[in-house]
Amino acid sequence: MDEDILNKYKKAGKILSEAREFGASLIKPGVKIIDVVEKVEERIKKLGGEFAFPVNVSINQNAAHDTADVNDVRVFNDGDIIKLDIGVHVDGYIADSARTISLNSGREDLIKASEKALSEALKMMRPGNYIRDVSDVIERTIREMGFNPVMNLTGHGIERYKLHAGIEIPNVRTNIGYQLKEGDVFAIEPFSTDGGGKVIETDKVFIYMYLADKPVRFPESRKILSVAREEFHKLPFTKRWLIKKIPTLTPLKLNLILRQLVQNGSLHDYPVLREVNNGFVAQTEHTVVVRDNPIITTL
């Protein structure tokens, strides 16, 4: 990997790390979700980063893809566990990291299972190792601590402006035969649960991603596609950002247009994911560059 590119990955990781810890310090009972999310996003910008995806705050049984909606009134509550998942890019070079915060939940062991699984997996991110063996370590570590890995959520390869670059690192052992190569970049994200070990889609959608320009009815539809393509670099975005970018949109009209753009194949939607048996879910994640001494950019 070119040294300039590596430095951009490192810079994105450093910005993310500071924003992640700042966000974790804000999460307290009674605090509005939207306040935390927007303050973290402001911090990312102030530090010189761009968004690789909206700041996620998935709570308790929700595992992923939850963020603040437009005019969101939800608050954090005592007893919650919150997955704070953040993506930052510098010139398209992405850092992706998450931690789980407990608000007196009593589920610290569940969080430790995810943390330990990540720690063990990161040690294996060296050239020549196989993804199936990394996944095996994640699964065994979580099960040995008395919990289940989430089988249908995975870590993923990262490339410039591509958050999910094709190659996955499952949280359970698979037959994936890919052999790690020096310079590969991956986000590893073990999810542990006291539920059944699988997530399903809910009817809540706050995050979308550009796919293609298709014929559309409204001028605002064309504007949304232009913003998603040119300003968001085809990376995931949220409704809150569009309302700020396109003042003529009302929340009602925005929801209507987004549904149509998903239906005609212009956008991909990311429904909030919930544990199938309503189990609690913990997540820990870092971005790593494969080397003989792996470089973890988001520590």
Write down the catalytic residue from 50, 72, 80, 156: 156
Write down the catalytic residue from 18, 35, 120, 164: 164
User: Residue 217 phi/psi, 5° resolution?
Assistant: -95, -45
Q: Nearest Cα to 89, choosing from 16, 172, 194?
A: 16
Residue pLDDT tens, the chain, 299 long: 899 999 999 999 999 999 999 999 999 999 999 999 999 999 999 999 999 999 999 999 999 999 999 999 999 999 999 999 999 999 999 999 999 999 999 999 999 999 999 999 999 999 999 999 999 999 999 999 999 999 999 999 999 999 999 899 999 999 888 999 999 999 999 999 999 999 999 999 999 999 999 999 889 999 999 999 999 999 999 999 999 999 889 999 999 999 999 999 999 999 999 999 999 999 999 999 999 999 999 99
* Complete DSSP assignment for 1-19: --HHHHHHHHHHHHHHHHH
- Could you tell me the residue ranges of all domains in the chain? 3-198+276-296, 205-273
pTM above 0.85, yes or no: yes
292 an active-site residue?
no
Write down the catalytic residue from 66, 189, 194, 220: 189
Q: Looking at domain 3-198+276-296, which CATH architecture does it have?
A: Alpha-Beta Complex (3.90)
189 an active-site residue?
yes
89 an active-site residue?
no
Pair type for strands 185-188 and 286-289: antiparallel
Whether 206 and 239 have beta carbons less than 8 Å apart is answered as: yes
96 an active-site residue?
yes
Whether 105 and 61 have beta carbons less than 8 Å apart is answered as: no
Q: Nearest Cα to 281, choosing from 158, 122, 184, 150?
A: 150
**How far are the Cα atoms of 34, 206, 211, 241, 271 from residue 70, in angstroms, in the given order?**
8, 9, 23, 9, 16
CATH code of 205-273, in short, is 1.10.10.10
85 an active-site residue?
yes
285 an active-site residue?
yes
Write down the catalytic residue from 41, 69, 80, 85: 85
